[in-house]
Amino acid sequence: MKLWTPIFIENSKIPVWLSKIAPININAITLFCVVFSREEIGIRTRRHETIHFQQYLETGVIGFLLLYLYYYLRAAFKHGFTREAYLAIKFEQEAHQHDCDFWYLWNRKRYNWLKYKI
């Protein structure tokens, strides 16, 4: 099985700019097939953002963005616009839980993020 991976761009200003309008400080962000990072990308961040890329492939660009916003707003209703709300997003739960697992991307089942609860 071929593992599709995104394009990584290090030392980008995009996460810096987005952090000014986001409720959290953004170190790296996946925007469909490109990962922008404000510094050199470590292996854990590569894996985390590649999980998001796989989620994009499953939902499509618009689907991912709409679902991400929906899950975030649901969590924000419960936790406020905090880091806790960000960590409650289903996509983030999957990525954070498995970003240290070397084999996860090779063994990951499609739509695995659906099993997480907000």
Which pLDDT score, from 0 to 100, does residue 1 have? 54
Which residues partner with 30 through β-bridges?
35
> How does residue 115 score in pLDDT terms, banded at 50, 70 and 90?
very high
Q: What is the model's pLDDT at position 3?
A: 81
At residue 103, does pLDDT exceed 80? yes
Residue 23 pLDDT more than 90? no
What's the predicted TM-score (pTM) here?
A: 0.94
* Residues in contact with 112: Cβ distance below 8 Å, sequence separation at least 6, in sequence order: 94
* CA separation for the pair 47, 25 (Å, rounded): 19
pLDDT beyond 80 at 74 = yes
Q: Is the pLDDT of residue 99 over 70?
A: yes
